[in-house]
């Protein structure tokens, strides 16, 4: 067959493909318009919910009022609602009108022991007891907005139920900021109690508001975005003696000093920092009661921050070797305990690639940024250890406020511009629908 005779067939195929793409583009535009209209219709509710939750903040595992507000709203939408998961967690499932996979959307509900210093008319005046102290309580990390945004997305998606090809779980999680040690909680307990099962979740999405970005801007990165955060304790056991006769004992303070320096060489000489940054910090060291007595033991505590799960495991191994070997070389003993902590917030590469266009449609390609790695931690990472997850930051800083004047999360002066709420409702709704429609 000649080349000339092939061209009409190829041209016809190209026309068919062009028509298909045009049809798909038209359908996507219609869906985007539908979501935008329904989100705009609930914007006033979202703002009212946010202000109400902000004025009535609750600490980790104590989110009773917030959970009741969420559950009442989800039931009003006709959703299947479960409560008291991981103490105060709420989970609702929206079963779509057509068969398909299950996707989850998550919001965290807890506030912080912070005395609010904003001039909001709805600022918090709440006080409670935390660690035996009388403290103020404030949504200083923006979780009030996360809850309101997801409540809005639930209403938008419930109104489109018959057209949804699959199911959506709405996860309202307590204790992201850290549960009381004797209780446990947060995402780890939510996972343990089965929130990703029955029906089984295939992917999960979450967001966090920050003044690092202005309203209308979004930041995320593939793979490790927020660090794992783990506490470690070290006990060095020597042999007590008079400080004037150190040779008669084993000095655990000198050994501890050597261990502190040895730990730093794990990062500077044993870790491939071109792969991802990492930090080992000793935050406390304690030993002895008197200037002229070498004590029996000394203790240290610190933190490990990593962005790569495999690197985290290697650092654990090398810390154990370093601590043990240095102590043994001096005739001492040492015990290292690394607590589970929070894993790396690790955005699945394929899921990130797949969903980035959704955020570009809503926010505009020029407003999408690659987020820097953040040494803070987020327990959304526990969900990402079980299923592919995508976590992103939305801007809450007013557009007329320069980045140099951004107020960090956890500050008593933290505030957000409520213009950030509507596009976030659209984003969470669209991520769920786009994912389900593509399966």
CATH at residue 283: 3.30.70.360
Instruction: Please give the pLDDT value at position 2.
Output: 42
Greatest Cα pair distance, the chain, in angstroms, is 101
Domain count of the fold of the chain? 2
- Asked whether residue 114 is assigned to any structural domain, the reply reads yes
Residues 303 and 289 in one domain: yes
Residues 83 and 214 in one domain: yes
Return the C-alpha torsion angle 122, 123, 129, 133, nearest 10: -170
Residues 216 and 248 in one domain: no
CB within 8 Å of 59: residues ≥ 6 apart: 110, 111, 112, 113, 128, 130, 137, 177
User: Is 80 exceeded by the pLDDT of residue 10?
Assistant: no
Residue after which a domain boundary falls, among 303, 338, 373 = 338
- The tokens describing 35, both together, are 């979501």
- Asked whether residue 5 is assigned to any structural domain, the reply reads no
Instruction: Please give the pLDDT value at position 174.
Output: 98
Residues 107 and 200 in one domain: yes
Q: What angle do CA 48, 49, 54 make, to 5 degrees?
A: 100
**CB-based contact 305:327 (threshold 8 Å):** no
Residues 385 and 308 in one domain: no
Q: What is the pLDDT of residues 287-343, one digit of tens each?
A: 999 999 999 999 999 999 999 999 999 999 999 999 999 999 999 999 999 998 999
Residues 382 and 354 in one domain: yes
Q: Average the pLDDT over each of 131-135, 253-257, 297-301, 360-364 and give the range with the smallest value.
A: 131-135
Q: Among residues 257, 246, 261, 262, which one has the least CA distance to residue 298?
A: 257
What are phi and psi for residue 70, nearest 5 degrees? -65, -50
- Asked whether residue 2 is assigned to any structural domain, the reply reads no
Residues 189 and 281 in one domain: no
- Asked whether residue 4 is assigned to any structural domain, the reply reads no
**CB-based contact 269:345 (threshold 8 Å):** no
Q: Given pLDDT bands bounded at 50, 70 and 90, which one contains residue 9?
A: low
- The tokens describing 131, both together, are 């660690």
Instruction: Please give the pLDDT value at position 5.
Output: 46
Residue after which a domain boundary falls, among 338, 361, 386 = 338
Distance in Å from the first CA to the final CA of the chain: 39
> What is the C-alpha separation between 268 and 266, in angstroms, rounded?
6
Q: Among residues 415, 386, 5, which one has the least CA distance to residue 194?
A: 386
Percentage with pLDDT > 70 across the chain: 94
CB within 8 Å of 329: residues ≥ 6 apart: none
| Average model confidence (pLDDT) across the chain | 94
- Asked whether residue 8 is assigned to any structural domain, the reply reads no
Percentage with pLDDT > 90 across the chain: 91
Where in the sequence is the domain holding 431, given as residue range(s)?
23-225+345-438
Per residue, the 3-state secondary structure of the chain, as one string, reads CCHHHHHHHHHHHHHHHHHHHHHHHHHHHHHHHHHHHHHHHHHHHHHHHHHHHHHCCCCCCCCHHHHHHHHHHHHHCCCEEEEEECCCEEEEEEECCEEEEEEEEEEECCCECCCCCCCCCCCCCCEEEECCEEEECECCCCHHHHHHHHHHHHHHHHCCHHHCEEEEEEEEECCCCCCCCCCCCHHHHHHHCCCCCCCCCCEEEEEEEEEEEECCCEEECCEEEECEEEEEEEEEECECEECCCHHHCECHHHHHHHHHHHHHHHHHHHCCCCCCCEEEEEEEEEECCCCCEECCEEEEEEEEEECCHHHHHHHHHHHHHHHHHHHHHCCCEEEEEECCCECCEEECHHHHHHHHHHHHHHHCHHHEEECCCECCCCCCHHHHCCCCEEEEEEEEECCCCCHHHCCCCCCCCCCCCHHHHHHHHHHHHHHHHHHHHHC
- Asked whether residue 355 is assigned to any structural domain, the reply reads yes
- The tokens describing 426, both together, are 């659209």
Q: What is the pLDDT of residues 243-254, one digit of tens each?
A: 999 999 999 999
CB neighbours of residue 290 within 10 Å: 8
Q: Given pLDDT bands bounded at 50, 70 and 90, which one contains residue 145?
A: very high
Residues 282 and 373 in one domain: no
User: Is 60 exceeded by the pLDDT of residue 6?
Assistant: no
Residues 116 and 185 in one domain: yes
User: Is 90 exceeded by the pLDDT of residue 435?
Assistant: yes
Residue after which a domain boundary falls, among 297, 313, 338 = 338
Q: Given pLDDT bands bounded at 50, 70 and 90, which one contains residue 1?
A: very low
User: Is 70 exceeded by the pLDDT of residue 99?
Assistant: yes
Instruction: Please give the pLDDT value at position 181.
Output: 82
- The tokens describing 165, both together, are 């090809």
- Asked whether residue 271 is assigned to any structural domain, the reply reads yes
Q: What angle do CA 29, 106, 42 make, to 5 degrees?
A: 50
Residues 312 and 354 in one domain: no
User: Is 50 exceeded by the pLDDT of residue 265?
Assistant: yes
Residues 219 and 235 in one domain: no
- Asked whether residue 9 is assigned to any structural domain, the reply reads no
Residues 93 and 161 in one domain: yes
Q: Among residues 214, 213, 210, 265, which one has the least CA distance to residue 376?
A: 210
Please report, for the domain that includes residue 365, its CATH number: 3.40.630.10
Cα 79 to chain center, whole Å? 25
């Amino acid at each position: 067959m000649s080349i000339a005779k092939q061209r009409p067939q190829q041209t016809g195929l190209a026309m068919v493909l062009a028509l298909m793409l045009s049809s798909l583009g038209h359908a996507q535009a219609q869906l985007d318009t539908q979501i935008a209209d329904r989100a705009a219709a609930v914007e006033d509710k979202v703002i009212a919910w946010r202000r109400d939750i902000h004025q009535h903040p609750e600490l980790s595992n104590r989110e009773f009022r917030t959970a009741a507000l969420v559950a009442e709203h989800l039931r009003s939408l006709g959703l299947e609602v479960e409560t008291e998961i991981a103490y105060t967690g709420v989970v609702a499932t929206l079963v779509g009108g057509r068969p398909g996979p299950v996707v989850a959307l998550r919001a965290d509900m807890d506030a912080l022991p912070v005395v609010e210093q904003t001039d909001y008319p709805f600022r918090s005046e709440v006080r409670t007891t935390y660690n035996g102290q009388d403290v103020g309580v404030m949504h200083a990390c923006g979780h009030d907005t996360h809850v309101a945004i997801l409540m809005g997305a639930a209403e938008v998606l419930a109104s489109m139920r018959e057209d949804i090809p699959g199911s959506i779980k709405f996860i309202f999680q307590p204790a992201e900021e850290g549960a009381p040690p004797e209780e446990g909680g947060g995402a780890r307990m939510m996972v343990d109690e089965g929130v990703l099962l029955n029906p089984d979740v295939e992917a999960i999405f979450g967001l966090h508001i920050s003044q690092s970005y202005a309203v209308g801007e979004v930041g995320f990165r593939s793979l490790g975005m927020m660090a794992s955060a783990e506490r470690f304790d070290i006990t060095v056991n020597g042999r007590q003696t008079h400080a004037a006769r150190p040779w008669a004992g084993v000095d655990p303070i000198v050994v501890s000093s050597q261990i502190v320096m040895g730990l730093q060489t794990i990062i500077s000489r044993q870790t491939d920092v071109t792969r991802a940054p990492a930090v080992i910090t000793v935050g406390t060291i304690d030993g002895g009661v008197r200037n002229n007595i070498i004590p029996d033991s000394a203790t240290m505590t610190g933190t490990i921050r990593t962005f790569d799960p495999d690197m985290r495991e290697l650092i654990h191994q090398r810390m154990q070797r370093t601590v043990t070997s240095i102590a043994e070389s001096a005739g001492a003993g040492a015990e290292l305990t690394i607590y589970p902590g929070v894993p790396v917030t690790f955005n699945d590469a394929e899921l990130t690639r797949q969903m980035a266009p959704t955020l570009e449609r809503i926010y505009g390609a020029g407003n999408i940024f690659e987020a820097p790695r953040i040494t803070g931690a987020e327990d959304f990472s526990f969900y990402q250890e079980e299923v592919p997850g995508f976590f992103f930051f939305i801007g809450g800083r007013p557009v007329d406020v320069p980045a140099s004047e951004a107020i960090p999360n956890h500050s008593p002066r933290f505030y957000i511009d409520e213009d950030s709420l509507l596009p976030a409702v659209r984003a969470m709704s669209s991520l769920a629908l786009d994912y389900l429609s593509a399966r």
